[in-house]
Amino acid sequence: MIPKETIDKIFESCRIEEVVGSYLPDLKKKGTNYWACCPFHNEKTPSFSVSPTKGIYKCFGCGKGGNSVNFVMEIGGLSYPEALKELALKYNIEIEEKELTPEQIDKENKRDGIYLISSYANKFFQEQLWETEEGKKIGLSYFKHRGFSNQTIKKFQLGFSPKQKDAFSKLAIKNLYQKEFLEESGLSFFNEKGCSDRFKERVIFPIHNYSGKVLGFGGRSLDPKNKAKYLNSPENPIYHKSKVLYGLYFAKSEIGKRDNCFIVEGYTDVISMHQAGVENVVSASGTALSTNQINLIGRLTKNITLLFDGDEAGVRASFKSIDLILQEGMNVKVVMFPQGEDPDSYSKKLSQEDFTNYLDENTKDFIQYKSELLNKNSQNDPAKRVKYIKDIARSISSIPDRLLRSEYCKVSSSLLDVSEQDLLREVGLFLQVKKKDMFVHSNTPQQNKINSDTEKNSIKINLLDVCEKEILRLLFNYGNRVLEFEDEKIKVSKYIIDELYNDNITFSNSFYKQILNEYKQKILEEREININHFFHHENSEIQQLSISFVSKKHEISKKWEDIHQIFTGDETKNLELTIEKAILSLKQAFIKSEIEKINKVISTDEDPSVETITKLTKLYKALVIINKLLGRNFN
């Protein structure tokens, strides 16, 4: 376990704009905060805010918020300790861990063990390639034959696994690496006869995560008799193939600079294009493109260009990927290579300049690409032509933005010689089918009941909850401020807490009550409230709520008053009035709630007690007073 002092030091050292900015190149300063398009959901207009003064981020679109550690956890798919370690490394903070629970030890050991064995294997494979006769003769010769320079081979950390079936496994065990992690990582197999290497007699392509750590490997067989030409690491606690893009670690900087990401099919396509000077390129590592992989790219750019072979399989693959990318709110273009060529082979046939020019000149919008295929393949066959038109309409229906769908229909109608109205109607039909499918798949009878109950509850808002939440918001934002009344000066926190205590008002919402009690305890301990305690709270719900309290979607510029003489309704201008109104509103809601409870009792009790009637009378009198105060001061 990481000591609290070290965790505090990490939080103190982190500058959230630096942490977020290293992942989001479009983060721009606007007023006192920074803004970008949210990396956690699709959007065109930035609603993701980063506050350097508060050390938090908040998305006003999807609602996600947190501190530097939360952000690294969310965007990197890391655990809390892993995110802390990542930030400690960034800010050169040494971590000395304390004793963990047995369960924590087991989980951490497994992940750390697989990371360690993967790093060790990566070093082993590289040494085999460069320092052994077998590696030089077979592995290095293969890479040279593919046209890779020494610099490129070293950059991508390419390696070689020898023919001896247990060369790596035996050496790893000799160096005290545990069998459990060797097996869990998929690098080794064990049985009663001994052990064997998964990647024996193969050239090796290590697969890195966003930060550059080795997660797994791809191995290409050099033996023509081997049935499996390519072999990948199996899924394990650190490697999930649908969440990883080969080459992203080496390409991320250039993707941000170029505001575009090329996606190719294989490892060698990525490496060859890098060598040809095109570095903003990644591969899905031999799997079908997934939404997770698309969203990884979405952190860096909203523009994707698919590079495919010119054969029929390449065309089919491009069609599937286009719709998936459009669904995620990204822009997609396509480059097809001549028959029999791929990015690897074609980048070697052409000079660097000619290859770059080919990509520029042959990049087509997905509508143009599909339209050309329609004209080429359907010719005078009406059935084929309709099939292609429907396919284009389906692709357009995948675009989340309504106006963009409309624009694509306008462009497509002239390219396809189809009326815009017919195309819009076809797109609308696809949209209806998708909505119906979503409803069918997401709503079981039980879920429908839950949705119905939720809808009813949302209509009937609990006024007392709203008032209690507003009191917490004011405490979080202004707790340390001093209110100036005619006869006294008093801190906001003391004034509110005293008012609640004097009238014996307790929060009805258990969650808000827990937060208020913790707030009071922190004041007793420290006199002044430090909101950072709640921003870094171990309870994620408390953390999220506290961040939402202090996050503001819009900042009011000083120019409105200083230059334009336009005065806005800023609650801080008369904080005394704001606080007083909130307390009176809470008291009003509290009294109404108490009256409602007593009336329910009376309705079921034929002979209510004198105490009950007396209490009800007092509550009604108090409500009249509160109503007058609210009406007089705040109408």
* pLDDT tens, position by position, 364-400: 988 888 888 777 777 678 888 888 888 889 889 988 8
Helix (H) / strand (E) element for 217: namely strand 214-221
Indicate whether 281 pLDDT > 90.
yes
351 or 612, higher pLDDT? 351
Indicate whether 634 pLDDT > 90.
no
Q: What is the mean pLDDT of residues 229-251?
A: 90
Minimal CA–CA distance to 91: which of 73, 68, 75?
68
- Return the percentage of the chain with pLDDT > 70, whole number: 89
Q: What is the mean pLDDT of residues 499-525?
A: 88
Class of residue 415 by CB neighbours under 10 A (exposed 0-12, middle 13-18, buried 19+): middle
User: Are 305 and 358 in contact, with CB atoms under 8 Å apart?
Assistant: no
DSSP helix/strand/coil, 216? strand
Instruction: Give dist(CA 232, CA 554) in Å, integer.
Output: 48
Indicate whether 210 pLDDT > 80.
no
Q: What is the pLDDT of residue 437?
A: 66
Indicate whether 443 pLDDT > 70.
no
Q: What is the mean pLDDT of residues 245-271?
A: 90
Instruction: Give dist(CA 593, CA 590) in Å, integer.
Output: 5
Indicate whether 439 pLDDT > 50.
yes
Q: What is the pLDDT of residue 603?
A: 78
Could you give phi then psi for residue 128, rounded to 5 degrees? -65, -35
Exposed e or buried b per residue across 488-527, where buried means at least 16 C-beta atoms within 10 angstroms of its C-beta: eeebbbebbbebbeeeebebbbeebeebbeebbebbeeee
Q: What is the pLDDT of residue 438?
A: 59
User: Are 128 and 139 in contact, with CB atoms under 8 Å apart?
Assistant: yes
Indicate whether 44 pLDDT > 80.
no
Domains belonging to the chain, first-starting first, are: 4-90 (3.90.580.10), 101-239 (3.90.980.10), 367-441 (1.20.50), 463-550+568-634 (no CATH)
Q: According to the per-residue pLDDT averaged within each range, which of 37-51, 233-247, 375-389, 593-607 is highest?
A: 233-247
Minimal CA–CA distance to 583: which of 521, 629, 518?
629
| Distances from the Cα of 394 to the Cα of 137, 270, 404, 434, angstroms | 52, 30, 14, 10
Q: What is the pLDDT of residue 455?
A: 40
pLDDT band at 134 (very low <50, low <70, confident <90, very high): very high
Could you give phi then psi for residue 29, rounded to 5 degrees? -80, 135
C-alpha of 295 from chain center: 8
435 or 615, higher pLDDT? 615
Q: What is the mean pLDDT of residues 572-598?
A: 87
Q: Tokens 């750019």 appear where?
A: 301
- Return the percentage of the chain with pLDDT > 90, whole number: 27
Q: What is the pLDDT of residue 563?
A: 45
Lowest mean pLDDT segment, chosen from 10-24, 37-51, 556-570, 609-623: 556-570
Indicate whether 600 pLDDT > 90.
no
DSSP helix/strand/coil, 191? strand
Indicate whether 613 pLDDT > 70.
yes
* pLDDT tens, position by position, 147-188: 999 999 999 999 999 999 999 999 999 999 999 999 999 999
Instruction: Give dist(CA 604, CA 237) in Å, integer.
Output: 59
Q: What is the mean pLDDT of residues 317-328?
A: 84
pLDDT band at 267 (very low <50, low <70, confident <90, very high): very high
Average pLDDT score over the chain: 84
Minimal CA–CA distance to 204: which of 257, 246, 240?
246
Percent helix, percent strand, percent coil in the chain, to nearest 5: 60, 10, 30
Q: What is the pLDDT of residue 99?
A: 61
Query: DSSP state, 630?
Result: H
Positive or negative torsion for Cα 252, 255, 259, 261: negative
Say what angle helices 575-604 and 610-634 make with each other, to 10 degrees.
Answer: 150
- Tokens describing residue 177: 């690496």
Indicate whether 413 pLDDT > 50.
yes
Instruction: Give dist(CA 411, CA 388) in Å, integer.
Output: 16
* pLDDT tens, position by position, 67-125: 888 898 888 777 788 888 888 888 888 877 666 566 766 766 788 889 999 999 999 99
Q: What is the pLDDT of residue 554?
A: 52
The length of the chain, given as a count of residues: 635
* pLDDT tens, position by position, 475-493: 988 888 888 877 788 888 8
HSE of 172 in the Cβ direction (CA atoms, 13 Å)? Answer: 30
